[in-house]
Amino acid sequence: MDLEFTGELWFWKGPSPWHFVTVPEPECAELEATSASVSYGWGMIPVTARIGGTGWRTSLWPKDGRYVVPVKAGVRRAERLDVGDTVTVRLTVDL
């Protein structure tokens, strides 16, 4: 499954601070439909993600009834991203 969407980069200051982009509701519904066959522990969904010219392997995290894409520091540096930037994310669900 391949998905593409646009979202805002945001920062979570929890015990393990991290940057994320929230997956929009329509795409979350598609992900939820396939999650039973691809998810592993805690509802995580393995994906290959891409923002601009930078790709990486990660897992979508379930949060508040949706999914979020964790965005590594190396990706943010390579794409010159900061909190509040709007980005286009391409996901391929790893089956």
Per-residue pLDDT of 19-72, as tens digits, reads: 999 999 999 998 888 887 887 777 899 999 999 999 999 999 999 999 999 999
For 2-89, give the CATH class.
mainly beta
Domain ranges of the chain: 2-89
CA atoms of 87 and 81, how far apart (whole Å): 9
Per-residue pLDDT of 5-18, as tens digits, reads: 999 999 998 787 89
Which tokens hold the place of 7? Answer: 């979202």
Contacts of 58 (CB under 8 A, 6+ apart): 46, 47, 49, 69, 70, 72
Please tell me the pTM assigned to this model: 0.89
Diameter over CA atoms, the chain: 35
